[in-house]
Structure 1
Amino acid sequence: MRWDDFRRSDNVDDVRDEGGGGGFRFPGGGGGIGIGGLIIVGLVSWALGVDPRLILAGIETIQGGGGGFSQQQAPGQKRELSQEEQRQGDFVRAVLAQTEDIWTDVFKTSGQQYRAPRLTLFSGRTRSACGRAAAEMGPFYCPDDQRVYLDTQFFDELSQKFRSPGDFARAYVIAHEIGHHVQNQLGIMDKTMQARERANSEEEANAISVRVELQADCFAGVWANRAQAKFNILEKGDVESALRAATAIGDDTLQKRSGGEVVPDSFTHGSSAQRVKWFRTGLESGDPKRCNTFQGQP
């Protein structure tokens, strides 16, 4: 993916050099939405059939309320970012800037104004308006403060654990979370959260969540289509790397990785095939109107 010569966004707060805050709270009430969805804790709780908040509470108790799962320096201390971390931050700023330019154009065509979100880069854990943000949650968007939260170590996990290396796979992750911000601005997120509250069962609520996540995948594809047309960002193998990432983080693939049975009623982000389908829909059309995942079969 070509990105070195593009502008950098000013809407990034990089706190990776700061000490992590104490404690950890499951971000349920605030509505935080993550692309990986508590990859580690979520899979364990699914396999055991228990509420993930119980596992998190137990971890916090064992650690004396320290929270998080990685070693952190004491609060207030600073550390120097490595060259690789600095480059990752530079990359995030470049991709975020492209999403700002693209969605500003899209909103303008319909007579609306796009209000860009901010993005917080952190290491280990930090605070959000949706509760604690932790690396184990994966990147997520918090509608309460309209911020994306990203621990750049997830990029390493994406490359190594999920075998989806490459800048464009990483850009897809960022663009997906920005897709949630687009949903928030369009009022889609409020409506779906209300629908989840009215749901008659957990399965029905999960099905709504799947449609929300698939639409964010489609919006990520819309960004990629228009960024290619405007900035010529794609290089050989880029699309394939993003499709590998979409496949790797499908609910069925994650459940298989955990060694358990695939349970479609428990899906919250969609199957690998669904995620690929909707990312392709946005990528091939470049039209947000084609991203209506709430009608028909997702």
Structure 2
Amino acid sequence: MKWKGRRQSDNIEDRRGMSGGGKAIAGGGVIGIIILLLNVFGGENGQMVGNILQQTQGQSAPTEQRDLTAAELEEQQFVKTILADNEDVWTKIFQENNLTYQKPKIILFEGGVNTACGSATSASGPFYCPGDQNVYMDLKFFEELKTKFGAQGGDFATAYVIAHEIGHHVQTLLGTSAKMREMQEGKSKAEANKLSVALELQADFYAGLWTNYNQKMNNVLEIGDIDEALSAAHAVGDDAIQAKMQGHIVPESFTHGTSEQRKYWFMKGYKSGDIKQGNTFAEIR
């Protein structure tokens, strides 16, 4: 992905020099929390994530400070650029629909972090908290995405995950997330999970939509970038995670969608470039 030399967002708080500032979550590592959540990057149903984070928080660890490495500083510059791209694209899309886009913030952390949705560690994976409208990310997640879940990796895989989380911010601004939670009330767990899947797949659609607009605006894509995003989407499908973690698949427990669904909706957003085609709730029944 071509990202250097372009605008960078100031809406980033990098706390990676301050380790141990959050709470410990039971399970340890991305795999441990996935078993609990059946969920990678995403905590995106804010109420659900808030409850889980609160239930699993442990003892506070002492805070230590250190200087960021050259590699970490470059990661920071990359995230700033991708966030700026999201800001520019979503400002344009909202303007096209006579709306005003409100910019979220990305919090980079390592070890642990406190949020309006509760306390978390890197085990939770990247997630969006609607309570403070921040995206929280431990960038070490992307190495585990490759080594433990078989994703191809690459910078555009990271860009896809960021765009997915920003997609949840868009859902908060448009009222989609709140409406989804209302629709879940009184439903069986299986029916409520279907609504959660629709919300997640729409965030994948928004990531694809962002890719379409960003390519037109900045000509950023290189050969293999879309494949990186699709590989990441495949790796974090509910069916792929369940098969790897528990050896069998339980469709009624899906909360994010299958690998094929996640890839389909990302590509639909990318190919269509039309926000009106992202009504996953009408198609996921």
Of 32, 39, 43, which residue of structure 2 is paired with 1:40?
32
Partner in structure 1 of residue 47 of structure 2: none
Which residues of 2 match residues 146-165 of structure 1 at below 5 A?
146-162=133-149, 163-165=151-153
Residue aligning to 1:204: 191
Q: Which position in structure 2 is the counterpart of 1:35? A: none
Query: Is there any run of 5+ residues in structure 2 with no aligned partner, and where?
Result: 39-50
Shift of 1:279: 0.3
Task: Pick from 211, 217, 229 the counterpart of residue 204 of structure 2.
Answer: 217
Alignment of 1:166-185 (within 5 A): 166-185=154-173
Contact 2:25 2:123 in 1 (8 A): no
Indicate conservation of the 8 Å contact 2:22/2:114, yes or no. no
CA RMSD of aligned residues (A): 2.1
The 2-side partners of 1:235 and 1:5 are apart by: 16
Query: Could you list the runs of 5+ residues in structure 1 that have no partner in the other structure?
Result: 27-37, 47-51, 68-73
Q: Does residue 11 in structure 1 map to residue 47 in structure 2?
A: no
Provide the C-alpha distance between the structure 1 equivalents of 2:155 and 2:226, rounded to a whole number of angstroms. 11
- Identify which of 188, 198, 211 aligns with 2:176: 188
For 1:255 and 1:14, locate their aligned partners in 2 and report how far apart those are by CA, in whole Å.
Answer: 32
Q: SS in structure 2 opposite 1:185?
A: helix
Figure out how many residues of one structure are paired with residues of the other and give that number: 268
Candidates 276, 279, 296, aligned match of 2:263: 276
Q: CA deviation at 1:159?
A: 2.9
The residue matched to 2:13 in structure 1 has which SS? Answer: strand
Partner Cα distance (2:164, 2:142) in 1? 14
Question: In structure 2, do the counterparts of structure 1 residues 89 and 232 end up closer, same or farther at CA, with 3 Å as the change threshold?
Answer: same
**Which secondary structure state, in structure 1, belongs to the residue aligned with residue 128 of structure 2?**
strand
Contact 1:243 1:276 in 2 (8 A): yes
Aligned counterparts of 1:117 and 1:271: Cα–Cα separation in 2: 28
Letter in 1 for 2:16: R
Q: Secondary structure at the match of 2:280?
A: coil
Q: Which residue does the alignment assign to 2:44? A: none
Q: How has the CA–CA distance of structure 1 residues 206 and 231 changed in structure 2, closer, same or farther, with 3 Å as cutoff?
A: same
Tell me the TM-score normalized by structure 2: 0.88
Distance 1:118 1:137, change over 3 A: same
Q: For residues 32-71 of structure 1, what are the structure 2 equivalents within 5 Å?
A: 39-43=31-35, 57=56, 60=58, 65-66=59-60
Q: Distance in 2 between matches of 1:119 and 1:44?
A: 25
TM-score using structure 1 length = 0.85
Q: In the alignment, is the contact (CA less than 8 A) between 1:99 and 1:223 conserved in 2?
A: yes
2:219 pairs with one of 221, 232, 237: 232
Q: Distance in 1 between matches of 2:184 and 2:24?
A: 25
Of stretches 79-88 and 100-109 in structure 1, the one that deviates more from structure 2 is 79-88
Matches within 5 A, 1:279-294: 279-294=266-281
Cα distance, 1:166–1:42 mapped onto 2, change above 3 Å: closer
Per-residue displacement from partner, 1:200-247 (whole Å, max 9, x unpaired)? x11111111000000000000000001001100100011111101100
Instruction: Name the structure 2 match of 1:131.
Output: 118
1:82, distance to aligned residue in structure 2 (A):
1.4
Match of 1:90 in 2: 77
Change (3 A) 1:45 1:142: closer
Kindly state the Cα deviation for residue 260 of structure 1 after the two structures are TM-superposed: 2.2
Q: Secondary structure at the match of 1:224?
A: helix
Query: For each residue in 1:79-111, what CA deviation from the matched residue of structure 2 results, as whole angstroms up to 9, or x when unmatched?
Result: 111111111111110000000000000000111
Opposite residue 168 of structure 1, the aligned amino acid is F
Residue 42 of structure 1: how far off its partner (Å): 3.0
Question: Deviation of residue 287 (structure 1)?
Answer: 1.0
> In 1, are the aligned partners of 2:22 and 2:121 still within 8 Å (CA)?
no
2:107 to 120, 138, 142: 120
